[in-house]
Amino acid sequence: MNLKSLRLYLLIILEYLKRKKWLIIGGILGIIVIVAIQLKFNLLNSEEVLRVGLIGTYQEHDLPEELTKLISAPLVEASSDGRIKPKLVKGWEVNNDATQFKFKLKDDIKWSDNSPVKSTDLEFGIPNVSVSYPDDKTIQFNLKESYSPLPSLLTKPTFKKGTLFGVGPYRVAKVEKSRIFITKIILQPDNPELPQVHIRFYPSEKVALTGFNLGEVQLLLGFSNPKLINANPLIDIKQTIDYSKIVTIFFQTEDPLLKNRSLRQALSYQTSEVGGEQVANNPYPPNYWVYDAFAKKYLSNPEEAQAALERAKSQLSDDQLHSEIVLTAIPNLEEVGKAVVESWKKLGFDAKLRVESGIPQNFQALLITQSIPIDPDQYFLWHATQAKTNLTKYNSKRVDKDLEDGRKIITEDERKAKYFDFQKILLEDAPAAFLYFPKYNIVSLKKVEPVLNKVLNLLR
């Protein structure tokens, strides 16, 4: 081809581009839009990517367990009955007075950066506990006072010091932030059969639901109120009982009215069971190794409520017996609170409900969801010295002694005897009414269920 012919071809091409320029520009813009949508939503590979929504504001040092369990594992873990067993460690030794613990790491464990796990890679921030590392596989904890439940403090997934390198099935591929808070994390699996996981963080359930409806995420973990989800054949709601939490009414035992034990018993007996929920009736889940199946039971027992009220009358004036009782509830328990005050009115009290966010400094009765410690040690909740966390101001010398001894004793049978006695006295004194164990909700698109199940199996 000579130069003249080449110039002719170029002129023809230029003329064509001029005539079709808007079509070409539109095509380029269309490609850009398609690429942007694919990068954001991964529509062409949805079966390989699971887009998850979590509610809350988090930084790298306080990530939620739903995420950390995917990228690492703990030194020890709790079985379904609350017993502690080894995970990343072979086992541990404890001295006679429970002031020194030595944990031995398993061999051949590697971080996600492929470096071997060494004891000095780990960092612990446990108050009043000093940590030393006798060798690469040993971690030693020295305590100032006896504390047999120490292993239960090591059940959170562990990470290489100062990083997000873990030992789990996933590694962190990308972190996006808005100022100091994480907005999105991308997890890459080591196993090609597992999906990639994109996790978005939303500041509230309302914003999270909007993101779900817009298709930003395919599922929401831990959504507290599934009633907000409109009925849709394409959406599935999975529910499991969360035995790590308990919905409880705390009575202020220093209140002029509620300091009467018989009256607290009457209110507890009169409170109705919540339909569709797993009844608690005890500070421990029913599968815990210290749960006493024969301990005192309350709820939905109006006959015993009237008997307890009769006992209270000898110590209360007529005005007190018809006085106001205010139940304060957090917003997502408002409906439960309404049912409770209606049941209390049947005893003749002027019961009222007040809804507040957070825990108020002053209350008569408080309806909240409380976390249950992994170990049966509930010292911080009920011991008289724990002014900040003993919300009811409960004071019992016998319970104090049980709680003090329970955290010093090493043998399981002796500890169990202490916590059986603790349950007996606590439930007789009724500083609280234990209602039910709440549900953990997962809202998802039905089409992602096969991929979702792969990930959920890792979280169990």
Spatial contact of 379 and 399, defined as CB atoms under 8 Å apart: no
- At 56 the pLDDT is 93
* Residue 47 CA: distances (Å) to CA of 58, 185, 324, 402, 451: 28, 18, 57, 54, 7
Q: pLDDT of 442-458, one tens digit each? A: 999 999 999 998 888 87
Q: Which of 37-51, 119-133, 199-213 has the lowest mean pLDDT?
A: 37-51
Q: How far apart are CA 441 and CA 222, in angstroms?
A: 5
pLDDT higher than 70, residue 15? no
pLDDT higher than 80, residue 41? no
pLDDT band at 9 (very low <50, low <70, confident <90, very high): low
Architecture of domain 45-63+168-241+440-459: 3-Layer(aba) Sandwich (3.40)
pLDDT higher than 70, residue 46? no
Q: pLDDT of 185-209, one tens digit each? A: 999 999 999 999 999 999 999 999 9
Average pLDDT over residues 340-356: 95
Q: Which residue has the higher pLDDT, 5 or 304?
A: 304
Average pLDDT over residues 34-57: 69
CA-closest candidate to residue 374, choices 251, 282, 254, 284: 284
245-437 CATH: 3.10.105.10
pLDDT higher than 70, residue 4? no
**Bridge partner list, 194:** none
Q: Where in the chain is the domain with CATH 3.90.76.10?
A: 74-154
Q: What is the DSSP string of 115-129?
A: PBP-GGG-----TTE
CA dihedral 221, 227, 228, 234 (to 10 degrees): 70
CA-closest candidate to residue 213, choices 230, 201, 199, 226: 230
Average pLDDT over residues 47-70: 91
Q: What is the pTM of this model?
A: 0.85
- At 317 the pLDDT is 85
pLDDT band at 320 (very low <50, low <70, confident <90, very high): confident
Q: What is the DSSP string of 124-174?
A: ---TTEEEEEEETTEEEEEESS--TTGGGGG-S----TTS---SSSEEEEE
**CATH topology for the 74-154 domain:** Dipeptide-binding Protein; domain 1 (3.90.76)
Q: Where in the chain is the domain with CATH 3.40.190.10?
A: 45-63+168-241+440-459
Q: Where in the chain is the domain with CATH 3.10.105.10?
A: 245-437
- At 16 the pLDDT is 65
- At 263 the pLDDT is 97
- At 216 the pLDDT is 96
Average pLDDT over residues 345-374: 93
Q: What is the DSSP string of 72-100?
A: ---SEEE-TTS-EEESSEEEEEE-TTS-E
Q: How far apart are CA 178 and CA 180, in angstroms?
A: 6
Indicate the average pLDDT of the chain: 91
Average pLDDT over residues 37-49: 55
